[in-house]
Amino acid sequence: MKAIISVMLKNGVLDPQGEAVKSALGSLGFDGVNGARQGKLIELNLADGTDPADVTEMCKKLLVNEVIESYTVDIH
């Protein structure tokens, strides 16, 4: 079983890495980029039968700062 956790900064939270990406792309001649945000992807290999609620608890306790980040979990 695999869990894919996508984490992004919440709207309204400054994203200096995203701004750096946008600026760098503009410097390379890619003028059509109006904004960029950078997040993280966490992939967990889980034992069969792992409760999906456990993955949510992992996010809340360690993987995500819920004050400034939002996340989605996709379990395969």
What pTM was computed for the model?
A: 0.87
d(CA 71, CA 9): 9
Q: pLDDT by residue (tens digit) across 7-64?
A: 999 999 999 999 999 999 999 999 999 999 999 999 999 999 999 999 999 999 999 9
Structural domains of the chain, with CATH: 2-75 (3.30.1280.10)
Question: How many CA atoms lie less than 13 Å away from 16 in the CB half-sphere?
Answer: 0
DSSP string, 3-31: EEEEEEEPTTS--HHHHHHHHHHHHTT-T
